[in-house]
Amino acid sequence: MPVLETAEGPIWRLRNRRETLTRWFVWFLGIAIFLWCWQQISDATTWFFVWDAPSIAGDILGRATPPRWSYMDNLWAPIWDTLNIATLGTIAALIMAVPIAFLAARNTTPSALFIRPIALLIIVATRSINSLIWALLLIAIIGPGVFAGIVAIAIRSIGFCAKLLYEAIEEIDHSQVEAITATGASRWQVMVYGIVPQIMPAFAGIAVFRWDINIRESTVLGLVGAGGIGLQLQASLNTLAWPQVSLILLVILAAVVISEWVSAKVRGAII
Amino acid sequence: MRAYAEGETHRELDDLLGTTWRRPPLVQRAWLRWTLLIGFAVYLVAAIASVEVNWTRVYEGLDRGAAFVMAFARPDFVSRADAIWNGMLESIVMTVASSVVGILISIPIALGAARNIAPLPVYLICRGIIAVSRALQEIIVAILLVAIFGFGPLAGFLTLSFATIGFLSKLLAEDIESMDKSQAEAIRATGARWSQWIDYGVKPQVIPRLIGLSIYRVDINFRESAILGLVGAGGIGATLNTAFDRYEYDTAAAILLLIIGIVMALEYISGVIRARVQ
């Protein structure tokens, strides 16, 4: 225990001198980095606009209320599109994620040396790029519209679903697999009767969880032109139609809350 | 699962003898299973029918798609090096600053949102802040903040800080709520003040989790900072958007590779640090 010797006797300390100095140095470095970052942001900011912000915020709020409820008639079709983007995208992602998960899990992969790293690379690459960027890319390739949104959501979700699924596969109870193997089952039969029943609840949970996230993401995909309610949001923002913007934001908020509620209910019923 | 009366199981087993065993279905009730299946099929047909796909456009796009995939083989870091470097730096600066500020703000809110520490009014207010922050997506917050504060990284910084508060406070508050009471009580029994009680009774129990969550959030903030540029809130997203607009796939590929690389590095570092503190 570090003790400081003084004329009046020893005083207990939490850390010795070197640890204390190291700690101070790390804090100093951290604060210096933060201040430098803040300096960068501050330099890139027009402070005049910032001081003006409260009045602008009040102005926008004044224009945005009350929401233009009659615009709701134009929103039903985009809402349907948004739902389709999320649902079809999730289904497509799951279809692709299942084989990748089986290839990535240590206990089911055919080759830990060659195929597993490739599967892991697909998982990381699809997961680390946001669906908006995928949408941007797909719009450049296959043109704007709902289809690009579906594909963007699907690609983005592969990594997420496959990662959670392969972790579930790695955690299965091995004795059940052995029992099926002992009956003389083939590789595929072992999979169907020994592994799949064990990961089925996890699979359903992942599917619903990701569907919930995808509803959120598909509401904003339209900002880059990939269909759904985001298109209306972008159009309203461009024409500064704030009463429509506030209505759309309310609809998005409602969609997020409802999908979260549905997902929580379904997951509660499964688990 | 229905409970069987005495002897009934045996009768069922007798009935089953000689028949083939079938796997039990995921949904036990037959009518519910069929309703779900048919409803889902009807929805699928309706949904797929309503999606308009311009297949000639898709077919024409395949060349560009191939060009893009090829671009990953020879990404171009050089010809727009300045824009990439500035965008990346701005993304990183926004990530660092917003993570620091977001974490600092979320600690008091987490204390307020833990039912075993905070009185009911404070609890409700803090939970309200968390709910609002979690319900609004980053990109929508960014749009509003850009409209209010003007273009630039300040809007992105505020967006990410705001999003960090909802994420971190919620998880930290849950951790505080599930902490070991006896340690906190022992500190309180020594006659500690409220601040000392938090410092010696609560803090040591939640600090590993706080560090783990913070690093995870830095990772998320970087990923999000990459898209905020699409709406004018600073960061690499603006550069990426320009690259796509100009069909400069090799530059776009370079940016995407950089993002993937940094995210992988961050994930690795966060894994190492989390393993050390927990």
Q: pLDDT tens across B104-153, in order?
A: 999 999 999 988 888 899 999 999 999 888 888 888 899 889 888 888 88
Optimal mutation site among A42, A90, A132, A200, interface B, most CBs of chain B within 10 A: A132
* Confidence class for position B6, pLDDT limits 50, 70, 90: low
Please state the rounded mean pLDDT for residues B20-33: 76
A212 contacts on B by Cβ (under 8 Å): none
Point out the residue among A129, A204, A253 whose CB comes nearest to the CB of B256: A129
Look up the CATH number of the domain holding residue B200.
1.10.3720.10
* pTM more than 0.90: no
Does the residue B160 lie in any domain? yes
Cβ atoms of B125 and B197 closer than 8 Å: no
The pLDDT assigned to A1 comes to 61
Does the residue B65 lie in any domain? no
Residues 32-51 of A with CB under 8 A from B: 33-34, 37-38, 40-42, 44-46, 49-50
The pLDDT assigned to B278 comes to 67
Please state the rounded mean pLDDT for residues A12-37: 88
For the structural domain made of A75-270, what CATH number should be given? 1.10.3720.10
Q: Do B230 and A147 touch (CB under 8 A)?
A: no
The pLDDT assigned to B122 comes to 92
A56 contacts on B by Cβ (under 8 Å): 147-148
Q: Do B93 and A125 touch (CB under 8 A)?
A: no
* Confidence class for position B57, pLDDT limits 50, 70, 90: confident
Q: Do A220 and B139 touch (CB under 8 A)?
A: yes
ipTM over 0.90: no
Please state the rounded mean pLDDT for residues B8-29: 69
Q: How far is B260 from chain A (nearest CA, A)?
A: 6
Q: How far is B15 from chain A (nearest CA, A)?
A: 23
Q: pLDDT tens across A167-183, in order?
A: 899 888 889 889 999 99
Q: What's the mean per-residue pLDDT of chain A?
A: 87
The pLDDT assigned to A63 comes to 85
Q: Which residue has the higher pLDDT, A88 or A52?
A: A88
Domain borders along chain A are: 3-45, 75-270
* Confidence class for position B1, pLDDT limits 50, 70, 90: very low
Please state the rounded mean pLDDT for residues B56-72: 82
Nearest CA in chain A to B53: A147
Q: What percent of chain B has pLDDT over 70?
A: 94
Q: Do B153 and A40 touch (CB under 8 A)?
A: yes
Q: Do A256 and B135 touch (CB under 8 A)?
A: yes
Range of the domain at B241: 74-277
Q: pLDDT tens across A205-228, in order?
A: 899 989 999 998 898 888 888 888
Q: Which residue has the higher pLDDT, B277 or A104?
A: A104
A253 contacts on B by Cβ (under 8 Å): 135-136
Q: Do A44 and B153 touch (CB under 8 A)?
A: yes
The pLDDT assigned to A222 comes to 87
* Confidence class for position B9, pLDDT limits 50, 70, 90: low
* Confidence class for position B26, pLDDT limits 50, 70, 90: low
Point out the residue among A60, A128, A142 whose CB comes nearest to the CB of B147: A60
The pLDDT assigned to B10 comes to 59
**Is A183 an interface residue toward B (CB < 8 Å)?**
no
Q: pLDDT tens across B249-269, in order?
A: 888 888 888 888 888 888 888
Q: How far is A111 from chain B (nearest CA, A)?
A: 23
